[in-house]
Amino acid sequence: MIQGTGSDVGKSLVVAGLARAFVNRGLRVAPFKPQNMSNNAAVTMDGGEIGRAQALQARAARLPASVDMNPVLLKPQGDNGAQIIVRGQIAGQAKARDYQAWKPRLAPMVMDSFARLKAANDLVIVEGAGSAAEINLRAHDIANMGFARAAQTPVVLVGDIDRGGVIAQLVGCKAVIDADDAALITGFIVNKFRGDASLFETGMQFIAERTGWRALGLLPYFDAAGKLPAEDAFSLRDQRASTGGDIKIVAPLLPHIANFDDLDPLKAEPGVRLVFIKPGEALPGDAALVILPGSKATIADLAALRANGWDIDLQAHVRRGGKVFGVCGGYQMLGQWISDPAGIEGACGDAPGLGLLDIETTLTNKKKLTHVAGDAPRYNAPFSGYEMHVGETTGPDCARPMLRLDDGRVDGAQSHDGRIAGAYVHGLFANDALRAALLRDLGAPSSTLHFEQSIDETLDALAAHCAAHLDLDALWEMAR
């Protein structure tokens, strides 16, 4: 089990790199995260949803993603706490304090999923959540040491030297956790190192001496990490605009932004400058395209969009001849009206949309989770992707759908002039031909990017990075 001294220390990438590295050694490997908290999710082949990081780890392990890989997923919904996803399906919602009462009944389901993965694989690499030293949450814990104790799983602790204080992170963790929990930690990794590794040799020795844990490696910063999907939106708040060409594509950073990795293929394009607009900033007047991304709380995010004045900026953008594309929740926002009569995403209620498409949406209890494929007539290109949404959208502009699905359905809508459009399907921009046609429509140069291939190449590079700097043999022996 890979646990961390805190959030964002690199646990997810370490698990992905190790998974691909051990698969390359001929082992059958599966990732597992007992409990995750993220609005960046993926649809599994068995019809559920899990955290995006676990889907990436499954890809690293060359396995189809399954709900067993992340049996409990918490999707934050602001003041209403979090939606609780159990084995891929909505089980309810709860605020943080109330969720503690859920854990005892979730624990057996977590252990069942883990047991199935163990039975089917040579190696299961488990990822913890947040910090191993969250002693205030230790009772009934299913995410870190509580799980490790129940499963009797050896633990490797990851610290982040890039944020500073890594010696105190690791030694301090040993000082505050329960002695029986600490006994499960067999080794440590110092992650995100920059510079001359010899300068930290005494640091590694000091940590090993003070903790009694084995030093498993000093892992240099992996520069290509930005090419892989991120797990949560916190990284976006500090993210600079992508470097690139003259075509500027912008997206407002909404409070409950979800599945924002939809935009990763555009960020990777050399002819594109992708910019996430932070609260308090205006949508720039020179944007070629504004994308409204997915949202976990559409009506609340629509209110935030208006509070930032982005609705006014958007109207000005459209008057200048600019183009707008909405994905899932962003697509719903483009319409005339959004209704949530059952309080699916927050308080019961409804709200006027942006009025850029002649459509209306009603949120429903039934959530659609499925992989889809088809063609996009506007771009004369095939596509594949996935649906993950609640809500039914109707209206005159749906007569001009964006997508034709292989199962006979259509998805999305367009304005009369085609400058305003949206669809429910996620992952559209990862399709090379469709993305190339979109960029041509914006005046960008021809693309040579093969996005999905680039993800696998990056995973191979991450595996080689881990193999070069971590003691894989020692990790394998610990697991055995």
Distant-in-sequence, close-in-space partners of 60: CB < 8 Å, separation ≥ 6: 16, 17, 19, 20, 23, 31, 459, 462, 463
Residue 267: exposure state from Cβ atoms within 10 A (0-12, 13-18, ≥19):
buried
CA distances from 53 to 36, 228, 264 (A): 9, 9, 14
Catalytic residues: 328, 426
DSSP character string of 123-161: EEEEB--S-TT-GGG-TT--SSHHHHHHHT--EEEEEEG
Length of the chain: 480
E strand or H helix at 437, and its extent?
helix 432-442
Rounded CA gap, 355 and 323, in Å? 14
Q: Give the three-state DSSP class for 10.
A: coil
Amino acid making up residue 416:
H
Count CA atoms within 13 Å of residue 1 on its CB side.
26
Amino acid making up residue 102:
W
Q: Give the three-state DSSP class for 39.
A: coil
Rounded CA gap, 287 and 282, in Å? 11
DSSP character string of 229-286: PPSSTHHHHTPPPPP--SEEEEEE--TTEE-GGGGHHHHT-TTEEEEEEPTTPPPPTT
CB contact at 8 A, 253 and 286: no
CB contact at 8 A, 41 and 51: yes
Strand-strand pairing, 360-376 and 381-394: antiparallel
Amino acid making up residue 239:
Q
Strand partners of residue 294: 258
